Structure formats: C-alpha cells, structure tokens
C-alpha cells in the first residue's frame, strides 16, 4: 500500500508539472519569472517563459522590453510582433538553439544585440534542430557571427526573411561539421558592415540569397569555402565589399556558386574570384569592380 501511495503521489506531481506548461505564454518588461507567464501575470525573460511553455508553443511579447539571452530546447515560436522586444547579450551568445532533431523554431520581430562592455559572441547559434526560421529579425554587434550553424549530426534548414545583420565578423555562417549539414536560405534581407556577409565554411552545406542587399563588408560579400558546398545568388546586389563573390578558399578548394540577375559593382579587391566555379547566367550586371570580375562559366539563359 505504501508503494502504491508513493507511486500515486509521484504520478500526480509529474502530471501537475506537465499541465503547468501552457501552449502560449507571455513576457513583459515589468513581468516576473516567478509568475506563470500568463497574459495577466507575464514573465520577465524568455528564459523564464520557455520553461513554462509547452512544445510546440508560442512566447509572445506583451510590451516593450529586453528579455535576455535564452537557450531554446524545444519547438517554440518567439514572437514580438506589435511591440519592441529585444535580446541584449553582452559577452555571451544571444539565442542558442539546441533542440531535438525534429524540433522547429521560429524567431519573429526580435532585435538581438551584442553591445555592452564586452560585446556578445554569436547572435544566434544553431547547434541542433530540424528547422529554424527568422522573420523580421535584426542582429547587430557580435564578435563572431550574427547567425551560425554549428551542428555536427543532423541536417538543419535555416531561413532568414526580411532580416538585417550588421557589425559581426560573419554575418551569416554555415559552419556545420560532418556528418551535419545545413541549408541556409536568405530572402529580402540586408547584410552589411560585417567582415564577411555570408560565409559557407563547412563541407556539404548550401546557401542561397534571393532579393538581398549585401554591402560594405570588409571581406567577402558572399563566400563558399569548401569543395562539396554550393551556393546560389538571385536578384541580389553585392556592392562596396572588398570581394563581391568568392568561390573556393584556400586554393584548390572548388565549390560552385550560381548567379542570376545579380548586381555586382564597386567591390574594391575583386568582383568575382576564387579557385572554384562561378557559373553566371547572361542576365547579371557585373562591372566597375577592382581586380577580377569574370565568371568561370556562362550558363544559358532560359527564356
């Protein structure tokens, strides 16, 4: 009887804990992490709210505030649409995503900033997940990457839509290690004043950029380093970088980058360069760059 009673108490405790997690929680600049994170009793930080949010669930920002760095370990949407929600991560990473290989994470309308006495290291570090989507996110001032993938096991799909990334060493970096891979899709975004704008440094990774502006980066605007990785640029401006597009570094690495409807000009070291293949279609405007600016192959333009 004692064993049955103890088992019943433990089961009740676990059930109560599970039921305490809501599918929608709230954070507020004047909240308290001791609260249940409800609409009328919001939490203070994303870290406080995520422990009380079921998977999959939503964390909403109730009013303006800085909601702190957070490690995401489950399928969740963090959404600050309609107000001013931010993460300030002085000396540390802003958002770390280390979830299950089946989890899907959405970050929407959040400013992620590494400013402070010691600036932050990475704005968003994706260690493990199935998919990560950033929408209307601004990332600024990091000593390493604005967004980086560092997974070493599974394949991760990452999308950035209507985002801004500036003042980082790598604006966006695909640094997945084998057998991990990442596919990064950047759309309608502005990546500027970093060292490198988009850098695919890992093996067997893919990055594409559509309708983007990649400008004023002191290194390469768009760079694929390793053999086996590929990239695509569509309707994208690469202007006032040191190098506009680089396929392959160091030599003899031989990745492939495909370009269509791109505007590449006023890059001060090279317009297009590298030991790999740049396959350009006949509808690009490539002119006015210092150094090399010739594609290695010209693809047939489909009408």
Q: What was the pLDDT predicted at 301?
A: 53
Residue 107 lies in a domain: yes
Residue 77 lies in a domain: yes
- For residue 89, name the pLDDT band (cuts at 50, 70, 90): very high
Joined together, the tokens standing for residue 165 give 């990334």
Report the candidate in 239, 224, 246 with the shortest Cα–Cα distance to residue 292. 246
In terms of DSSP bridges, do strands 138-149 and 181-187 run parallel, antiparallel, or are they unpaired?
unpaired
Residue 96 lies in a domain: yes
Residue 15 lies in a domain: no
- Say if residues 271 and 265 touch (Cβ distance below 8 Å): yes
- Residues 107-136: tens digit of each pLDDT: 999 999 998 889 999 999 999 999 999 999
φ/ψ (deg, to 5) at 126: -100, 105
User: What spatial distance separates the first Cα and last Cα of the chain, rounded to whole Å?
Assistant: 80
Mean pLDDT of 264-291: 96
- Tell me 219's DSSP state: S
Residue 45 lies in a domain: no
Q: What was the pLDDT predicted at 116?
A: 84
pLDDT at 286 over 90: yes
Mean pLDDT of 69-94: 97
Report the candidate in 249, 153, 158 with the shortest Cα–Cα distance to residue 199. 249
Report the length, in residues, of the chain. Answer: 303
Residue 55 lies in a domain: no
Number of domains in the chain: 1
Domain span holding position 197: 69-299
- For residue 299, name the pLDDT band (cuts at 50, 70, 90): confident
Report the candidate in 13, 73, 84 with the shortest Cα–Cα distance to residue 49. 73
Joined together, the tokens standing for residue 233 give 């640029």
Beta strands in 180-266 (DSSP E): 181-187, 190-192, 196-200, 206-210, 213-215, 220-224, 230-234, 237-239, 243-247, 256-260, 263-265
Residue 51 lies in a domain: no
Sheet with 181-187, edge to edge strand ranges: 22-27, 53-61, 76-79, 104-108, 131-135, 155-161, 181-187, 206-210, 230-234, 256-260, 277-281, 297-299
- For residue 302, name the pLDDT band (cuts at 50, 70, 90): very low
φ/ψ (deg, to 5) at 42: -75, 160
- For residue 15, name the pLDDT band (cuts at 50, 70, 90): very low
Q: What was the pLDDT predicted at 79?
A: 98
Mean pLDDT taken over the chain:
93
* Residue pointed to by tokens 């009013």: 63
Domain with 269 in it: what CATH number? 2.160.20.10
Non-local CB neighbours of 114 within 8 Å, separated by 6+ positions? 88, 89, 90, 94, 120, 121, 123, 140, 141, 142, 143, 168
Residue 208 lies in a domain: yes
């Amino acid at each position: 009887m004692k064993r049955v009673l103890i088992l019943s108490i433990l089961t009740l405790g676990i059930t109560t804990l599970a039921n305490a997690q809501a599918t929608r929680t709230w954070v507020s600049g004047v909240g308290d992490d001791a609260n249940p994170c409800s609409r009328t009793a919001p939490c203070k930080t994303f870290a406080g709210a995520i422990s009380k949010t079921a998977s999959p669930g939503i964390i909403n920002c109730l009013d303006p505030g800085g909601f702190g760095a957070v490690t995401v370990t489950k399928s969740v949407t963090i959404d600050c649409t309609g107000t001013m929600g931010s993460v300030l991560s002085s000396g540390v990473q802003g958002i770390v995503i280390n979830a299950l290989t089946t989890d899907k994470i959405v970050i929407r309308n959040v400013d992620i900033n590494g400013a402070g006495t010691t600036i932050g290291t990475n704005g968003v570090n994706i260690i493990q997940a199935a998919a990560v989507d950033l929408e209307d996110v601004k990332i600024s001032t990091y000593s390493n990457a604005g967004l980086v993938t560092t997974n070493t096991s599974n394949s991760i799909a990452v999308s950035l839509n209507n985002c801004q990334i500036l003042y980082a060493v790598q604006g966006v970096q695909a640094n997945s290690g084998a057998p991990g891979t990442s596919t990064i899709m950047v759309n309608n975004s502005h990546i500027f004043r970093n060292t490198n704008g988009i850098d695919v440094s890992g093996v067997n990774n893919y990055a594409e950029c559509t309708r983007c502006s990649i400008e004023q980066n002191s290194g390469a605007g768009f760079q694929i380093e390793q053999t086996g990785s590929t990239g695509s640029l569509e309707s994208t401006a690469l202007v006032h970088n040191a190098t506009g597009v680089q396929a392959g570094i160091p030599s003899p690495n031989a990745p492939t980058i495909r370009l269509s409807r791109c505007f590449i000009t006023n890059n001060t070291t090279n317009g297009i360069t590298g030991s790999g293949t740049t396959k350009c279609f006949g509808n690009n405007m490539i002119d006015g760059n210092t150094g090399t600016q010739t594609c290695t192959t010209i693809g047939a333009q489909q009408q």
